[in-house]
Amino acid sequence: MTQPPNLELNIPDEAWQLALDECGSILRKGVRDDTANLKTRVLARSYTLDTAASRLNLRRKTLEAAINANLISAFVDPEGVQRIAAHEVHHVMEDDKRYEEIGLYEFIAPEEIATALQVELSQVNQWIQESRIPKTRITWEKVRGQWGLPKSLRKFHAQLEDVRQAVKRAAQRARSEERRRRLADVRREEQIRRHELRQKLVNSFPAWRHEGRDNQLVTLHVGPPNSGKTHQSLQELEIVGSGWYLAPLRLLAFEIFDRLNARGTPCNLLTGEEHIPIPGATITAATIEMFNAAESGEMVIIDEAQMLADPDRGWAWTRALMETQSPDIHIIAPPTAQNLIEQLAESAGMPIRIVHHERLAPIKVADYPWSLENLPPRTILVAFSRSMVLHLKSELEHLNRRVSIVYGNLPPEVRRKQADRFANGETEICVATDAVGMGLNLPADYVCFYEVEKFDGKFVRPLTAGEVQQIGGRAGRYGLSQAGEVGATTRKNLNLIRRLFYQTPQVLTHARVAPTVEDLQMIPGTLAEQLIQWSELQSIPDTLRDKIRTADMAERIELAKMLSDAEVRFLGLESAIKLINAPTNKFSRSYWRDCATAIIAGVSMPLPPSAPDEIRSVQDLEATETSVSCADIYLWLANRREFSQLGEAEYHVRNLRSLWSERIDDALVLRLDTSKRCPECGKPLPPTYRYRLCDSCFYRKGRGYY
């Protein structure tokens, strides 16, 4: 389709046709032909004087002189622009003789001569003066071949460009060297700063040795699971009548709280989310993070002390052991922790005695694997993910087995009810994650490993000997079983379990410490940067570096990144640290941020997101668990002195949490179908299927989920 003529200048097509005849048929380099428009065709076949000069590496004035001397032809287009046909420009480029002929008119600046010959400009000016060449008329014709210049303009341009590039490279090298020097200076300054900061942090490291250590005694109870370590320690605590029982889990603190009160020993409960004071009680069962070392009482029991080495929470065990003021300290741990605890006690100057405990019921590894169909009653079936636990629950219930389940995301109250049903014989199988290995009172005759690999937060890895022994050790009920038995569902896995169960496990080598407010006050930057620097500096005294490491602050850092500098300043560092210590995970961080926003604004914290009215599917179950997790955040913050006035709905949230927990338990008791299914089409999936979508839905949607 022919384009209309240029209406702005009212130029007829005939004029552009005449210009097109002047151009010929050769196109400019890199330009496509547009046959629909005469003007565009002219532009595609010709250069303006400026673009031609650029193409030829000549000045515009050189081309004007060459046109006047009839060395190159030009024409004026219908818009009055002087142009040179593309074939003319290309011919000049390809014909050295013609190029040099036109190049005689090229003006050469003295600076260019000085650069090409790498001499001083004053020397070039002197040569020009001696040759009586006017400075305004220094053309290539007058200087070529003189003072060492080549006779060819192309060679001169090449020589000039080579020198310029060499100078440019030298300048770049100089700049790079300067940057390297400055960077080295910055690094040296940073190293000095970090060294001085690290030294300040090391100097402020808590002095665990003090005069009162001679009046303290550490009793380390070492033994496998089901060897009476905790039972004996609690008996001594009841006799002493004052102190703490420190647990890794709310569920375990609840269990001891109930046990002592049921036996007539008044005991308080203190966790991050609740405080239940009992009149007259001088003993407190608590989660270990809530321990107040300044009010230690006469005796402290530190349970599951292998958690000293836990990257995330180990700092709480270290603090409890090294800062307690009690004269009597009882530590409960497996043999893998003995050497580390002895070293820590020695470094603090605390006397220590070791009490070895033996299993109260024998235990062995099964001779043959068990299938799901023939699992014996009183079996704990172990898997290592929530989805697998839920899937196995449905599989077993389809086989008409009565099943309890225990996994980390379940509210503690639900875990406790599920465990109690198993302990009381209401259910015959308990499908559980490795939460059963953490002091939970879950007596069983058998422990069967359905899986022998677990995701540890970073990688999927095989189980260790220590993990197999800790979890498998739950088999065998003293006084109720002749022996406990540990097994697996496949021959291959059973052989691995047998090897690991009898293998000497790796001993723990390092306890963990967390930063204090005073530590972070010494470090510059945002709160997140302070935490990162503290982690990187590893500011541990040399005498303790072989047994102490810094805690993993990853979750705290993620929360700190969600606070601005202004918000941290408004809160104050101590309150900001308490805020980021709330019990969060990646699914509840957004609700935590909503609570933080309310706290900073000085208004009531928002209620947790509502749970579904009924739990009819795994998705409803997951949503309800998330609501409970958010309720835990609300209750944790409401129980901090700094934020309590903004949690006036605590009683209501606690009731909501109880209601949601009841719904979860009811759904599990009523045999909610928790088998693994594709969320798109509902198709059942194999228990070991790695992906979220089935193959059909994956290919239909063109994407997948892990």
> DSSP labels for 246-272?
EESSHHHHHHHHHHHHHTT--EEEE-S
Q: Please state whether beta strands 460-462 and 453-455 pair in parallel, antiparallel, or not at all (unpaired).
A: antiparallel
- On the question of pLDDT at 19 being above 50, the answer is yes
User: DSSP for 72-90?
Assistant: S--EE-TTS-EEEEHHHHH
Rounded to an integer, what distance in angstroms lies between the CA atom of residue 113 and that of residue 544? 70
- On the question of pLDDT at 448 being above 90, the answer is yes
Structure tokens at 605: 């914290």
Q: 3-state SS of 297-366?
A: CCEEEECCHHHHHCCCCHHHHHHHHHHCCCCEEEEEECHHHHHHHHHHHHHCCCCEEEEECCCCCCEEEC
Q: In what helix (H) or strand (E) does residue 507 lie, and over which residues does it extend?
A: none
pLDDT of residue 705: 38
pLDDT of residue 188: 94
Task: For residue 207, name the pLDDT band (cuts at 50, 70, 90).
Answer: confident
Given a contact cutoff of 8 angstroms between Cβ atoms, the answer to whether 307 and 249 are in contact is no
Domains of the chain as residue ranges with CATH: 13-103 (1.10.1660), 211-356 (3.40.50.300), 363-501 (3.40.50.300)
Model confidence pLDDT, tens digit, residues 591-639: 999 999 999 999 999 999 999 999 888 888 889 999 999 999 999 999 9
Rounded to an integer, what distance in angstroms lies between the CA atom of residue 612 and that of residue 659? 11
Q: Measuring CA to CA, which residue among 227, 217, 264, 267 is closest to residue 246?
A: 267
Rounded to an integer, what distance in angstroms lies between the CA atom of residue 356 and that of residue 597? 51
Instruction: Name beta bridge partners: 269.
Output: 276, 285
Residue 166's Cβ-count burial label (10 Å; 0-12, 13-18, 19+) is exposed
Model confidence pLDDT, tens digit, residues 391-434: 899 889 889 999 998 887 788 888 888 888 998 899 999 999 88
Least confident of 272-276, 283-287, 441-445: 441-445
What is the amino acid identity at position 266?
A: P
* Residue 138 CA: distances (Å) to CA of 62, 145, 467, 558, 630: 12, 14, 89, 69, 83
Collapsing DSSP to helix, strand or coil, 39 comes out as helix
Collapsing DSSP to helix, strand or coil, 35 comes out as coil
pLDDT of residue 675: 67
Mean pLDDT of 509-517: 94
Task: For residue 228, name the pLDDT band (cuts at 50, 70, 90).
Answer: confident
Q: Would the CA dihedral through 23, 29, 33, 37 be positive or negative?
A: negative
- On the question of pLDDT at 2 being above 60, the answer is no
Given a contact cutoff of 8 angstroms between Cβ atoms, the answer to whether 156 and 143 are in contact is no
- On the question of pLDDT at 29 being above 70, the answer is yes
Collapsing DSSP to helix, strand or coil, 487 comes out as strand
Rounded to an integer, what distance in angstroms lies between the CA atom of residue 306 and that of residue 338? 9
The string over 465-500, giving b where at least 16 C-beta atoms fall within 10 Å of a residue's C-beta and e elsewhere, is: bbbbbbbbbbbbbeeebeebbbbbbeeebbebbbeb
- On the question of pLDDT at 439 being above 70, the answer is no
pLDDT of residue 366: 93
Task: For residue 706, name the pLDDT band (cuts at 50, 70, 90).
Answer: very low
Rounded to an integer, what distance in angstroms lies between the CA atom of residue 239 and that of residue 265? 10
